[in-house]
Amino acid sequence: MPETNIAVGLDIGTSKVCIAVAEQDASGSLKVLAEGFAHSEGIRRAAVVNINKTVAAIKAAVAEAERASSIVIHGVNVALSGAHVHCIQSSSEISINQSGIVNESDVHRFLEKARANIQNLDINHEIIHVIPQEFIVDDQDRLLDPTGMAGMTMRGSVYIVVGLKTKIRNIRQCVERAGLKIVGLTFKPVALGMAVIKEREKRGGVAVIDIGAGTTEVTLFLGGAIHYSEVITVAANDITLDIAHGLQVDEEIAEHLKIKHGCADSRISSGNEDIVIEACEGYPQKTVQRSLLNLIIEARMMEILELVRDALMASGSYEAINAGVILTGGGSLLQGAVELAQLVLGLDVRIGYAEGAAGGMNRIGAVNSAVDATALGLVAYVYRNNMSGKNSFATSAAVPEIAEPKSKASQGSEDVSAVQEKNVAWKKVVDGLQEWWEKL
């Protein structure tokens, strides 16, 4: 079986499941081999509400990525987020080893001590990450990587991410029932930060705002380390629902109006013409005023951004955001979102794509998009933390039906499902072989 050094990221969002498959080349750049997207219906505000639908969406996204890349996916680094995830500021202190030079095992002991400090806090939560924010070796402070420094004691602050065990178990169940191994479970803002923050921005304070379908996540990074994170349960789908209620149209039409004609900032939206909505199923044709549509959109977007501003103020570090604000997620693509964010937050704002230099994310292949940033950040996280391992995420397997697809015109839906079935059978064979090899 050919060995690969491929990594796979899985983002289970409220509106879509996104799989990113990439490998790192010798220069450290990430080459995107394939992406898979599937409509998601089993998630509400980042929490699983329907296991079967979520499993089906994961399988569909995996199948799409496998078809596009001719690899077989076995494992994933999964994003974890949602209102159940909490972050605790803590601290730790250890004596440096006898050589007096900080080594990796000192760092490990430092993090383990921080973990032990809070382990018994709450039996319903589990620790997902212990992320160092700052190391202080004797009196030398603000160190992000202390290894190699001379000293007697090392102390510092850490950011501990904990999530509700039951919610995490639901995510695990969905991924495993989709036939995948969980190689890593990564706090979403950490992955997102790796994807969208540029090296220059890491030196200052930067806020990453992910406006998704069901949640808006606000994360503040100071000096490259995560400092504060908050989940707001109002997001871009609420804009769609407001349009549906306000204009009395169904959600599908409301979504179309938002994406095709909507603008979040009345200062830049022009024209007040009528927008004609195609009649459906015997109903008469309808028109809506563009200004009314945009009024509805602006009101909700304003609310979201005011909540973001409140969260940034609550972090106590609003003044430290000197590098600006990175807006990402599907909601950031709404026309006028950047301009309105600039007004409400009083800061410079840009859209964030998975192109940041952090984590070796010099991206090659696939079109930049604000909706796949998390999945690609998950891949960057794998390489940054040396989690890739040979074949732990995927094996390359030349599946004849996939490698040489028939032309689209001659490929009916029955043919496609036949190919998918063969692909699944092939995957089982490969998985079996891998298991046998591991036992050996």
- In sequence order, which residues have a C-beta less than 8 Å from that of residue 340 and are 6 or more positions away? 264, 265, 298, 301, 302, 305
Q: Cα(157)–Cα(140) distance, rounded to whole angstroms?
A: 14
Cβ–Cβ under 8 Å, residues 5 and 23: yes
* CB-count burial class (<10 Å; 0-12, 13-18, 19+) for 184: buried
Binding mask 160-199 for ligand ATP (x = CB under 6 A): ----------------------------------------
Give φ, ψ of 328 to 5 degrees: -145, -175
Cα torsion 388, 390, 394, 400: sign:
positive
Segment lying near ligand ATP (by CB under 6 A), choices 2-10, 14-22, 267-275, 404-412: 14-22
Q: Which is nearer to ligand ATP, 258 or 363 (CB)?
A: 258
Per the CB < 8 A criterion, the answer to whether 142 and 123 are in contact is: no
205 binds ligand ATP (CB under 6 A): no
Q: How many helices (H) and strands (E) does the chain have?
A: 12, 21
Q: State which of residues 92, 237, 294, 420 lies at the interface with ligand ATP (CB under 6 A).
A: 237
Asked if 161 and 131 count as a contact pair (C-beta separation under 8 A), the reply is: yes
Q: How far apart are CA 418 and CA 248, in angstroms?
A: 42
How many chain residues touch ligand ATP (CB under 6 A)?
Answer: 22
Residues of this chain, 356-375, that bind ligand ATP according to CB under 6 A: 371
Of 73 and 297, nearer to ligand ATP (C-beta) is: 297
Nearest residue (CB) to Mg ion, 13 versus 156: 13
Binding Mg ion (rule: CB under 5 A), the pick from 212, 214, 262, 336 is 212
User: Which one of ligand ATP, Mg ion, none is in contact with 16 (Cβ closer than 5 to 8 A by kind)?
Assistant: ligand ATP
How many CB atoms lie under 10 A from the CB of residue 143? 16
Centroid of chain to Cα 269:
30
Query: Whole-number minimum distance, CB 371 to Mg ion, in Å?
Result: 7
DSSP string, 69-80: HTEEE-EEEEEE
Do residues 434 and 392 touch, judged by C-beta distance below 8 A? no
* Sole window of 12-20, 23-31, 271-279, 292-300 interacting with Mg ion (rule: CB under 5 A): 12-20
Which of these ranges, 115-123, 172-180, 230-238, 411-419, lies near ligand ATP under the rule CB under 6 A? Answer: 230-238
Of the pair 331, 377, the CB lying nearest ligand ATP is at 331
9 contributes a contact to Mg ion by CB under 5 A: no
User: Minimal distance in Å, beta carbon 329 to Mg ion?
Assistant: 5
Q: Does 13 bind Mg ion (CB under 5 A)?
A: yes
Enclosing H/E stretch for 275:
strand 274-277
The residue within the footprint of ligand ATP, chosen from 88, 127, 149, 259 (CB under 6 A), is 259
Per-position x/- string for 45-84, each x denoting binding to Mg ion as judged by CB under 5 A, each - no binding: ----------------------------------------
Are 373 and 331 a contacting pair, CB within 8 Å? no
Q: Which one of residues 72, 213, 293, 305 is an interface residue with ligand ATP (CB under 6 A)? A: 213
Q: Is 198 left (phi over 0), alpha (psi -120 to 50) or beta?
A: beta
Indicate if the alpha-carbon torsion angle 89, 328, 298, 336 is positive or negative. positive
Q: Which of 33, 171, 197, 236 binds ligand ATP (CB under 6 A)?
A: 236
Shortest spacing between CB 141 and Mg ion, in angstroms: 35
Q: Residue 371: which of Mg ion, ligand ATP, none does it interact with, CB under 5 to 8 A by kind?
A: ligand ATP
* Of 226, 297, 326, 334, the one binding ligand ATP by CB under 6 A: 334
Contact 77, 181 (CB under 8 A): no
Of 34 and 96, CB closest to ligand ATP: 34
**What three-state secondary structure class fits 324?**
strand
Our CB check for ligand ATP shows the closer of 18 and 30 to be 18
- Interface residues with ligand ATP (CB under 6 A) are 13-16, 46, 212-215, 235-237, 240, 255, 258-259, 329-331, 333-334, 371
